[in-house]
Amino acid sequence: MEEKKLDINSIIGFILIFGILLWMLYNNQPTPEELQVQEKAKQEQIESENKVSSDSDIDISEVASADFDINNPEDSLQMANLKNKVGAFAYSANAMSNSAETILENEVLYLKINNKGGYISEVKLKKYVKYDSLPVFLIKDQNSIFNINFGTSDNRTLNTKDLYFQPTVSSKNGNQIVSMKLKVSDSRFLEYRYEIEPNNYMLDFTVKSQGLSSTLNSQQDITLDWKLKGRRQAKSISYENRYTRLTYQYEGDKVDKLAQMGDDEELEKDISWLSFRQHFFSSILLTDKPFKTTKLNTENLMNDEEIDTLFTKSFAVAIPLDLDGGEFNESMNLYFGPTDSTTLKEYDKNLEESIPFGWGIFGWINKSLFIPLFSLLSGFFPYGIAIIIMTILVRLVLSPVLYKSYLSQAKMKILKPEIAEISEKYKDNAMKKQKETMALYNKAGANPMSGCLPAFVQLPVFYALFMFFPTAFELRQKSFLWADDLSSYDVVAELPFHIPFYGDHVSLFPILAAVAIFFYMKMTTGQQVASQPTQEGMPDMGKMMKYMIYFSPLMMLVFFNNYASGLSLYYFISNLITIGIMLVIKNYILDEDKIHAQMQENKKKPKKQGKFAKKMAEMMEKAEEQKRVQNRKK
């Protein structure tokens, strides 16, 4: 083996490199003047941070998200500055390195509570999925902020959303409890306390302070702010947005709403609950003691359904909290769950009134008739079949009204030749013509208004069902035939472009409903035109009716293309049944010859004039006499 020898050239090279490095370090070290400048800059930075901490409104968000190492001199300095900013709440700064979330859940809810701010940062409904089969999140990705803004006795203004709370998880009698404390010390703190029962969408929520009477500034308002942006859950965001609304109960049991589509703001007193309703799901804040004043705000975020596809509306409320002995203690509840009348009614808080069943008699019909009836039918039949059966029952109940309408039109059709004779005989005397026409109606037992009254009788039912189907939670994601969701539109063809008001798809149920409406109106308008006498100076009713025959189906075709397919199914079946009932009445029940004979008999009988008819006759005679007097003067 060859013996290795030490290379003298390598030794000389290493010595030279080491010497050069020593020379560079010596020449680049800061001079005494440079050290003074650095020290002065560091001192100015500290003074500047201290100056910021003395301001009345402090922004600590940039520090609250930092991670600190107490063994690092620079981190220790930042920690000291942070403590100077939060004042008495510097005790909670020890927890600021923990930016985790605390989990609270039961069989139906999964909640994340952010240790920074202490508020709920995520709400997942375990039993439901949205239109794309992903879980329903009411709160996620910072779409909600819950904050208390308050002043301290040393003239600071703090926001709980920027401060870190210390969580404690426990259980009691099967209930899960999370306590989030923002501490001044172990015995002095601001606390958010959440408690949830098994299988419950409602949480007990308490906000209270303990031992903070000397820390809080009693001269400055303590305001609870809750902001939430409604996340899209449905296939049609424009349709969902139509039923997304801020609703609240105030002054006992009064219920009101902010604007349905535009931006709105209101200041109300004595609010007992407020609901951020996102069509089929709601986030509701309730209080045991009504809030004295509440500022409510809503902003529409969906102006163009092709662009604004993530959020529907933005909700915001600001609630001043009252101090009692320098402390505050608010017992509240939070509801995160379905906008389902059956579920909401279980809480006995009048929460079902947040659902838009319709006002007045329309809402009463829905709550007293259609909701119980549909619940009963859907317990035995598939939901599509339940809609059909309910439609049949409704049309059968209203069939006597339809019969009276058709009978009135038949009578008017029979009298039309006689009315035409009266019009020709008294064509130069309008008063006399009107008097004789009314006398004919009275003798024959006909009433031209009786054909219109049945339509007015059916209007409450029509409107009630118009409000029922879009708000029926039971229909959500229930399929029937080609419709995969009766609470949304059905699709039989996708369009490669978007048509204003119509959409980018073709729905079949609105087409079927439009065809049924066309034939229904063809029958009814033909009968009405045949029964209406032609009078001079009056518009041609025939032409107007012909326009309506085409206009109504077109409206159904266009505007119902994005509506709930369950509603279009109802109109389709309803008009088919109505056409069938009309054909039965016309061909098997009503006999125009018998009606004509009966009317002739009525003319022979002495007819006692009613008070209204008598008064009208007297007024017409008086008007006719005045006209004769005027003609003589001329």
Q: Looking at 203-217, 336-350, 602-616, which range is the least confident one?
A: 602-616
Summarize pLDDT for 170-193 with one digit per residue, the tens: 988 889 999 999 888 888 889 999
**Token code pair at residue 7:** 């290379």
Summarize pLDDT for 408-433 with one digit per residue, the tens: 776 666 666 766 776 666 666 666 66
* pLDDT attached to residue 387: 93
* pLDDT attached to residue 618: 61
* pLDDT attached to residue 333: 94
Helices (H) and strands (E) in the chain, counts: 16, 19
* pLDDT attached to residue 35: 52
- Residue that is last in its domain, among 296, 331, 356: 356
Give, in order, the Cα–Cα distances in Å from 385 to each of 208, 462, 480, 485, 553. 52, 20, 8, 14, 24
Helix, strand or coil for residue 70?
Answer: coil
In a domain? residue 315: yes
In a domain? residue 15: no
Is pLDDT of 63 > 50?
A: no
Is pLDDT of 60 > 50?
A: no
CB 190 within 8 A of CB 182: yes
Do residues 379 and 339 share a domain? no
Sign of CA dihedral 298, 302, 308, 309: positive
Summarize pLDDT for 283-334 with one digit per residue, the tens: 999 998 999 999 999 999 988 777 878 899 999 999 998 888 788 888 999 9
Do residues 450 and 332 share a domain? no
Distance in angstroms (rounded) separating the CA atoms of residues 292 and 457: 43
Is pLDDT of 52 > 50?
A: no
Task: Tell me how far the alpha carbon of residue 613 is from its chain's centroid.
Answer: 50
- Residue that is last in its domain, among 298, 321, 356: 356
Is pLDDT of 24 > 90?
A: no
In a domain? residue 574: yes
Do residues 443 and 352 share a domain? no
3-state secondary structure 455-489: HHHHHHHHHHHHHHHHHCHHHCCCCECCECCCCCC
Specify the higher pLDDT residue, 456 or 394: 394
In a domain? residue 83: no
Is pLDDT of 46 > 50?
A: no
Do residues 216 and 349 share a domain? yes
Is pLDDT of 351 > 70?
A: yes
Summarize pLDDT for 548-560 with one digit per residue, the tens: 777 888 888 888 8
Summarize pLDDT for 576-625 with one digit per residue, the tens: 988 888 888 777 776 666 665 665 665 555 555 555 555 655 665 666 66
DSSP codes joined into one string, 398-459: HHHHHHHHHHHHHHHHHHHHHHHHHHHHTTT-HHHHHHHHHHHHHHHT--GGGGTHHHHHHH
| DSSP H helices in 486-540 | 508-531
Is pLDDT of 201 > 90?
A: yes
Segment 89-111 shows an average pLDDT of 74
Do residues 382 and 473 share a domain? yes
Is pLDDT of 86 > 90?
A: no
Do residues 245 and 376 share a domain? no
Specify the higher pLDDT residue, 543 or 157: 157
* pLDDT attached to residue 459: 79
Do residues 433 and 406 share a domain? yes
In a domain? residue 60: no
Query: For all residues of the chain together, what is the average pLDDT?
Result: 78
Summarize pLDDT for 506-528 with one digit per residue, the tens: 899 999 998 988 888 887 765 55
Is pLDDT of 374 > 70?
A: yes
Summarize pLDDT for 459-514 with one digit per residue, the tens: 788 888 888 888 889 899 898 989 888 988 898 888 888 888 788 888 999 999 98
Distance in angstroms (rounded) separating the CA atoms of residues 578 and 478: 26
Cβ neighbours, 10 Å, residue 604: 8
Specify the higher pLDDT residue, 446 or 363: 363
Percent of the chain, pLDDT > 90?
28
Do residues 234 and 337 share a domain? yes
Distance in angstroms (rounded) separating the CA atoms of residues 543 and 501: 27
Q: In the chain, what is the greatest distance between 2 CA atoms, to the nearest angstrom?
A: 155
Distance in angstroms (rounded) separating the CA atoms of residues 86 and 60: 8
Q: What is the pTM of this model?
A: 0.75
Do residues 350 and 377 share a domain? no
CB 351 within 8 A of CB 323: no
* pLDDT attached to residue 538: 47
In a domain? residue 55: no
Which domain covers residue 226, as residue numbers? 101-356
Is pLDDT of 124 > 80?
A: yes
Do residues 285 and 223 share a domain? yes
Is pLDDT of 121 > 90?
A: yes
In a domain? residue 72: no
Q: Count of domains in the chain? A: 2
In a domain? residue 1: no
* pLDDT attached to residue 176: 93
Summarize pLDDT for 222-268 with one digit per residue, the tens: 899 999 999 999 888 888 888 999 999 999 889 999 988 888 999 99
Is pLDDT of 104 > 90?
A: yes
* pLDDT attached to residue 586: 75
Do residues 138 and 284 share a domain? yes
The dihedral region occupied by 100, where left means phi > 0, alpha psi between -120 and 50, and beta the remainder, is beta
Give, in order, the Cα–Cα distances in Å from 87 to each of 46, 59, 154. 17, 13, 8
* pLDDT attached to residue 11: 60
* pLDDT attached to residue 211: 86
What CATH number does the domain containing 209 carry? 2.70.98.90
Do residues 458 and 603 share a domain? yes
